Chain A
Amino acid sequence: MTRFRSRRDFLRDLGIGASALPFVGNLPSLGFANQARRKQRLVVMFSPNGVIPGAFWPTGEGADFALPTILQPLEPFKKQTLSLHGVCDRIRGDGDGHMRGIGCLLTGIELFPGNIQGGSDTPAGWSSGISIDQEVRNYLQKDAATRTRFGSLEFGVLVPDRADTWTRMSYAGPNKPLTPVDDPYQMFQKLYGRAKDRELLASVLDGVTDDLKAVAGAVGSEDRKLLDEHATFVREMEKELRESAAAAAGHPVPELEPGVREENNNIPAISKMQIDLMVNAFQADFTRVATLQYTNSVGMARMRWLGVDEGHHELSHEPDSNEKAVEKLTKINTWFCEQLAYLAKRLAETPEPGGPGSMLDNTVLIWTNELGKGNSHTLDNIPFVLVGGGLDFKAGRALKFPRVPHNRLLMSLAHGFGHRVKTFGNPDFCGDGPLNLA
């Protein structure tokens, strides 16, 4: 049976229903249970339609490697970068390459049969398993020492407004796709709506008090008792607001540029807003797991700001002999890498709250894709580039694996958090355990 979230659930996430609680969850200064241990974080960044392998995979192997064109933006973080060639999505079954590409990418398990027909193969539905980001989230949320307000946040950038196999990457369980929030204002509301509401409330309380006084003056003495009682509740609320405002000092609410519409040409602006919000959420320890999904599998972004007028997906079908297309696709993927680099930069510049080093030292960013290569639709050599020291993998390396199933990499991520799963997704592809990345 499928359950749908009610508006009440949504409001609860917003925190509006909890006026009696202090509004700042997990602030370091408040000394919550989850601030004792080292914090570890995971970010999965998705871009669609495969890559240009020649411009994407580093030359050389091990610690001695050179960053190719697409990965150039990572130059400042080369020592924290780990590229994994030879990791393959071996899941088969229903659904076309793009559908399985995104639907099995983080779940490592087949799609259910269903009614969604792809460009080839048999029709399919949603994934039949949980995705690794949610698996890690649940693991962290189980323990008070690692629990956060949201557990995970799913960011998107211009994800089409339709729910189908091509637009969903994270799954809370079989048949439970999670909708990424691709509107930065909605994400802001989710993160800071409560704080903003408090500000608003504080700004009208004097008016409410005056109002009660004025009305109480117009009624008889017996009725005035009721209004006096009411007035004491308003005064108590005012006091609580002052106290929570004091507790929140030092964690400012970010300001968003107003009025940025969700449209193709605003992709760069939205990308930056979402990344900034993600860094803010990490700083406040609202979550330790995040995904960032650019468009969708078969994404159609037109990157006019790069001088590319064609849609990304149609370009990705062009043969290798079309040099113009290869050049444009290289530009497109380089732009995605810039976004990854911007996120890495923001985290590297931010000292870890309450701990040594930077936030990047405690975060691992994984950039991935639903296909190895756009024009062949191969699920071999899925792009996996990791940045950051969150899971203590030995970075500053380019590794080459002999066509290993990507389930093993997903297991490595869980193990990196101390969640020692025996298998993840389809157990047939977990045979040799997690990939050794240490």
Chain B
Amino acid sequence: MPHRTATHPFALAAAALAALAGVATAGEPPTGEQLYKQHCLRCHGPAGEGTKKAPRPLVGDRSVIQLGKLVDETMPEDDPDKLDAAESLRVAEYVHGAFYSPTAQARLKPARVALSRLTVAQYRNAVAELVGSFRPAPQPDDRRGLKGEYYNARAFRGDKKVFDRIDPGVRFDFGTEPPEKDKFDPHQFSIRWEGVVLPPESGTYEFVVRTEHATRLWVNDQKAPVIDAWVKSGADTEFRGAVDLLAGRAYPIRLEFSKAKQGVDDSKKQKKDRPVPPASVALLWKRPHGAVEVLPADYLSPGSAPTGFVVTTPFPPDDRSLGWERGTTVSKEWDAATTDAALETVGYVAARLEELAGVRPVDTTRADNSGNPSELSTDAKKRADVPAAERAEKLRAFARRFAERAFRRPLTPEMERQYVARPFERVAPEAGAKRAVLLVLKSPRFLYREAGAETDAYAVASRLAFALWDSPPDDELLKAAAEEKLSTPEQVREQADRMLRDSRAKAKVRDLLLTWLKVKQPPDLAKDPKRFPGFDDATAADLRTSLERFLDAVASSEDADFRRLLLDDRVPVNERLAKLFGVAGPEDGPGWRAVPLDPGRRAGVLTHPYMLAAFAYTAESSPIHRGVFIARGVLGLNLRPPQEAFTPLAPDLHPKLTTRERVALQTRPQNCATCHAVINPLGFTLESFDAAGRLRATDRGKPVDAAGAYHTRDGADVTFAGPVELARFLADRPEVHAAFVEQAFHQLIRQPVRAYGPDKLDELRKDFAANGYNIRKLLAAVAVTGALGGKDQVR
């Protein structure tokens, strides 16, 4: 159990009174405000906004007692003894209430739900779904892996198929043998794998096929292969191609492999006893920021899906200055990107009008064989007349539906005129359709999440969908809006529960958890090869996968208990990680298994090797990075950045000092200590793990000291013997829950939570606690709050 030394607030107050008793002056003691004006204002300004002498605004999240202590010890700068403890406390009370605390800041600058454009991720998702809404729905399949069809021939002839089966992935080394003895000619056989790929994050994926034989790979685009190595030429045995994919969606994938000579078939002329060349084939990928690995079965399914459109136009990144992406600013670059992306989309749609709008192609069949380009036969002309009118009507219907889907609501007669009728005026219907699509994609009604300030059920549907999916509403949600079934919290809640089961929500939850852990943008995990032999890019990628599997497992479990993120001691490992950590890995070769790692010494994400390695240097651990992460990320403290950039003391200059001792030495000066008194004792608890996240007993030859401490907001001193005690402490702390709730709110709603009322955060936190810290229930509650409390309602 952590040991607590409680300092009761009354004890301080009593001390203050005792001090006051000694003051002989008549009349009232000076108020906090008076003291501030007398001693502090000169440097800090009338409202703590700062002056040249002390430019930083007095804003932070210390409690009154913590602030009072700080004032007493350090202020005024020229003579800290000028104010006694009681006076310091009064100053702190005044400052805290007037402008220092977040609530005071909120009062001074009330937050509002600001008009927001789609974030870049939302934009890409919205366009993908918009185009996808004109295509059949994917046919999901809960099984994992790909369907493999095995042929005893060089090509994929139905009558030569020997069998099909589900393969968990493609990594085969046949040597000189066929896939199954006596069923195939070892000289020539072919295999086709088919199914869908399920990208866990949005970005550019590199696909790699390794084989000595003919191969082709299609990903998403089912016509143009991303890899075409059907012609085997020279010594190349590795082929690559890149595709942009969006998280939470399914994309068709097909791999063909043929062990045979292509071109003219001369197999009949060949000698039967000629030597058999070896054959192998492997399908790998490199996730965005990842390492090349065999494409794991988790991300493959034998289901089917139509091709999806992915906008590849680069966009300027969204504003993340508050720790979450939001769309409250526009720039010329952004506007230009929306134009380029709209034109990219128009090009894509125009080339596929026949498929998407369900029209027949312009009749160009040449009835004669003259080859004369300028003459259509009279018959053909006649045949073309009737469908022309029908075609124009179909294209208008397409434009109407496109606008409705883009704006996430039915069109008013005025909108119908503006987005459907006008673009078709005086041009051929194909040109009209292109114009309409471009106009819609450039419209603020598409580009802004809550443009038009409508307050109806469609606005609720939009807010709900963008919150949970970062995508526009689906058919079911739009149907609920049309039937006015999104009026009560219960009705919205029902939709939210349904939507949380969708793969897009799962992608969003993972995104939220990775953001909460400050590792959404994968950090560089490179480690000193001398200190950590075997810790390579592949290991780093495996560790990331391990963390993601851990997060997914907790989030998708029955209770989805947030505290388990901090407490569970099981870590998913594959073969390579099992070897690295010296534990038993998965029994059946490739795949993953969650195992207790260093039982009793680890607990949850704080001690996950990925996190420990991420918040560390290449050779040494970094208690400061780890401590800052715990303070800011987990406890939600508002630490200031250091006053100047520091280079950590080089270990070689202090060969006898442990990391802990070196850090303590460097942060000893008073102006460091105010923050590092919080940071260091938190980070030190993880000193029993090295820079690669492995358990260690010694550092620089001395036994590791992993004791730590924390001074709570209510004035209690808590000490921890190590990471497990720290984790248990954190798992139960309301401020940890509040920090997570706030993070979730901002990730989902992308508006400041304070704009929804000063008590909203606390309300949600209490609800979170009452629901057993169920993450999914929290997200549903947040989404319902955002959906029903939009721009309009809040005002």
Contacts and interface: CB of A to CB of B under 8 A. Distances in A.
B236 A204 contact: no
Interface string B333-362: 001100110011011000000000000011
B275 to A, nearest CB: 15
Q: Which of A19, A118, A257 has the most CB of B within 10 A?
A: A19
A226 B115 contact: yes
B228 A163 contact: yes
Contact of B418 (A164, A197, A211, A220): A211
A234 B435 contact: no
A1 interface: yes
B452 A175 contact: no
A126 B231 contact: yes
Interface stretch (A258-266, A286-294, A370-378): A258-266
B373 A268 contact: yes
A356 interface: no
B396 to A, nearest CB: 16
Nearest to A232: B332
A210 B418 contact: yes
Interface string A18-36: 0110000000000000000
A222 B445 CA distance: 18
A146 B374 CA distance: 38
A226 B227 CA distance: 44
Interface residues of B, number: 76
Contact of B373 (A212, A233, A257): A257
Given A164-B263, A204-B439, A115 B231 contact: yes
Interface in B210-239: 213-214, 221, 226-234, 236, 238-239
Given A125-B232, A222-B112, A8 B312 contact: yes
Contacts of B115: 219, 223, 226-227
A19 B114 contact: no
Nearest to B328: A226
B232 A258 contact: no
B443 A208 contact: yes
B336 A207 contact: no
Given A4-B241, A227-B115, A123 B371 contact: no
B330 A229 contact: yes
Contacts of B795: 220
B109 to A, nearest CB: 13
Interface string B735-754: 00000000000000000000
B391 to A, nearest CB: 13
Q: Which residue, of A16, A193, A220, A272, has the highest number of chain B Cβ atoms within 10 A?
A: A16
B261 A126 contact: no
A259 B444 CA distance: 35
B650 interface: no
Nearest to A120: B264
A211 B445 contact: yes
Contacts of B229: 2
Interface in A98-144: 111-119, 123-126, 128
A92 interface: no
A11 interface: yes
Contacts of A14: 347
Interface of B: 112, 114-115, 213-214, 221, 226-234, 236, 238-244, 260-266, 312-314, 328-332, 335-336, 339-340, 343-344, 346-347, 361-366, 369-374, 418, 422-423, 431, 434-435, 438-439, 442-445, 448, 451-453, 791, 795
Interface of A: 1-4, 6-8, 11, 14, 16-17, 19-20, 96, 111-119, 123-126, 128, 163-165, 174-175, 189, 193, 197, 200-201, 203-204, 207-208, 210-212, 215, 218-220, 222-223, 226-227, 229-230, 233-234, 236-237, 257-261, 265-269, 272, 304-305
8 contacts: A1-B238, A7-B221, A8-B312, A115-B213, A116-B263, A123-B261, A164-B231, A259-B362
